[in-house]
Amino acid sequence: MNQKNNMYILIVTGLSGTGKSNALSALEDMGFVCADNLPCQLVNEYLDLCANCENEITRVALVLDSRESVFGYNPLSTYNELKSITYPYDIMFLECEDAVLKHRYSETRRPHPMNNDVSIGIAMERAMLAPLKEKANYIIETTNMTPIELSRTIEGILMRGENVPLRLIISSFGYKRGIPYNADYIFDMRYTPNPFYVEELRLLSGRDDEVKEFVFSDPAVCRQLDMIVDMLKLVIPEFKKQGKRRLMISFGCTGGRHRSVAMAEALHDRMAGEYQVMLEHRDLVTEADDIKERFNAR
């Protein structure tokens, strides 16, 4: 963190719908004094007010995003305004997949600030905020994050010291629903026999012992698991040296219910004792519903 006059400034920006409000709530819980949608030309005055406050303010977070456009600003001029700030600051940029942003807007039924057509609005906003993203000190991918996970990620980024734990996310998915946008490593499990074609295993999942035994009866799967564990033990310390605080390992199979789940579970069990590990199965429930629907229709 940069500091001056015992006050740390964090500029939070990013695409609409990526969780900036949740980020601001998390920062408030961490002791930040927060301001949302503050016009950029008022930032210096606001920071002076914080610096001269009778109550000592040590952390300030400001949300600046595409809503600046209502004041006639564009990101380049906004960034020029930011450069005039007399206090050191960092920029945190929140990112997310287009499909997830569209889903979030459909759930809330709120209009996109850039355009009534959400797809067009997202594209416009991406282009508008690209210069700020290039200047960001931290980029957080929120596609698969819950508010709690976002809060923990922000806390991990802003914690001082060398002992900040790297959060290892191990996930499974089905290729027929697309690969995860924010995975660092993706491993394809479709090379090994599919439990789906074994009648007594079809309705089970990779969490069940019978499916795990079937998947790991293939010696190649056992070797792959050992190799991935060795690889992670090699690269994780190097990633931490580079300041990375989150690493996502994803396993994919056809539907995301059997082979990928079994491998993700096994890797989780191998790594949980050494690292902060989170396990998620993106398509496990959806694929179960699809299987039941397909076979009930026959």
pLDDT by residue (tens digit) across 56-80? 888 899 988 766 554 455 555 566 6
Tokens representing 101 are 């942003």
DSSP conformation letters of 190-252: TTSPPGGGSTTTTTS-TTSHHHHHHHTTSHHHHHHHHHHHHHHHHHHHHHHHTT--EEEEEEE
Q: pLDDT tens digit string along 1-16?
A: 444 457 889 999 888 8
pTM strictly above 0.85: no
**Per-residue pLDDT averaged across 179-183, rounded?**
84
Q: What percent of the chain has pLDDT over 70?
A: 85
Q: pLDDT tens digit string along 84-97?
A: 777 778 889 999 99
Q: pLDDT tens digit string along 193-245?
A: 999 999 999 999 999 999 999 999 999 999 999 999 999 999 998 887 776 66
**Per-residue pLDDT averaged across 88-109, rounded?**
86
CB 88 within 8 A of CB 44: no
**Per-residue pLDDT averaged across 117-132, rounded?**
85
Q: Is 253 helix (H, G, I), strand (E, B) or coil?
A: strand
Please report which confidence band the pLDDT of residue 160 belongs to, taking 50, 70 and 90 as the band edges: low
**Per-residue pLDDT averaged across 165-190, rounded?**
90
Please report which confidence band the pLDDT of residue 105 belongs to, taking 50, 70 and 90 as the band edges: confident
**Per-residue pLDDT averaged across 132-141, rounded?**
87
pLDDT for residue 41 = 75
**Per-residue pLDDT averaged across 159-179, rounded?**
78
Q: What span, in angstroms and rounded, lies between the C-alpha atoms of 269 and 281?
A: 15
pLDDT for residue 219 = 97
